[in-house]
């Protein structure tokens, strides 16, 4: 029997104009690089929406978790529009409220003041990845 191990695609909003976008991006990278390096892969949202076939095929064939910095939910909507509905659609303000972390005020150069928020969002993403992989295993 062939056992296929699926990776979860993380799609972060680009959010250049708001701190929530930067937070989404940094937390996403932490999951990719530290928390779940062998279970996750990222998909570049700009390339995805600009027509990268490889990215769109991946998102159509693999479970995805989107992480958005604001209520416009661009990453979640773009993923659904261009590929397939994300398995989990996370929203940074909701995560911060749930985990009682202060929202960042800066657009960039995050440091110790933003660490609680980064960790909160990264942990939420990691949990979402575990849930998706469990669902895949139980199928």
Partner 1 sequence: MDKNQKNKVVVLACSGIGKTYGALARDTAQELAECVRPGTVILTCLARLVMDDPEARLILSGNPVITIDGCPRDCAKRTVESTGKKVAEACQVVRFYAAHKDLKPEGLAQLNEAGRKLARIAAEELAATVDKLAAESDR
Listed residue (136, 62, 66, 115) closest to 94, CA to CA: 66
**CB neighbourhood size of 79 (10 A):** 28
Listed residue (23, 135, 131) closest to 68, CA to CA: 23
What is the nearest approach in angstroms of partner 1 to the Cβ of residue 43?
Answer: 8
- Distance (Å, rounded) from C-alpha 74 to C-alpha 125? 17
Q: Does 74 bind partner 1 (CB under 8 A)?
A: yes
Residue 80 or 130: which CB sits closer to partner 1?
80
Q: Does 35 bind partner 1 (CB under 8 A)?
A: no
Among 109, 112, 138, 139, binds partner 1 (CB under 8 A): 109
Q: Which two tokens stand for residue 131?
A: 């849930």
Residue 115 or 135: which CB sits closer to partner 1?
115
- Distance (Å, rounded) from C-alpha 107 to C-alpha 11? 19
Q: Does 46 bind partner 1 (CB under 8 A)?
A: yes
* Residues in contact with partner 1 by the rule CB under 8 A: 12-18, 21, 25-26, 28-30, 33, 42, 44-47, 49-52, 72, 74-75, 77-78, 81, 107-110
């Amino acid at each position: 029997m062939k056992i296929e191990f699926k990776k979860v695609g993380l799609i972060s909003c680009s959010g250049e104009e708001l701190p929530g976008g930067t937070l989404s991006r940094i937390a996403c990278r932490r999951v990719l690089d530290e928390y779940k390096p062998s279970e996750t892969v990222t998909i570049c949202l700009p390339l995805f929406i600009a027509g990268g076939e490889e990215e769109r095929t991946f998102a159509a064939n693999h479970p995805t978790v989107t992480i958005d910095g604001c209520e416009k939910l661009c990453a979640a909507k773009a993923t659904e529009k261009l590929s397939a509905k994300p398995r989990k659609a996370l929203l940074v303000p909701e995560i911060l409220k749930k985990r009682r972390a202060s929202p960042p005020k800066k657009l960039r150069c995050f440091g110790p003041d933003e660490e609680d928020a980064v960790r909160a969002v990264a942990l939420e993403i990691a949990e979402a990845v575990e849930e998706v992989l469990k669902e895949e295993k139980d199928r």
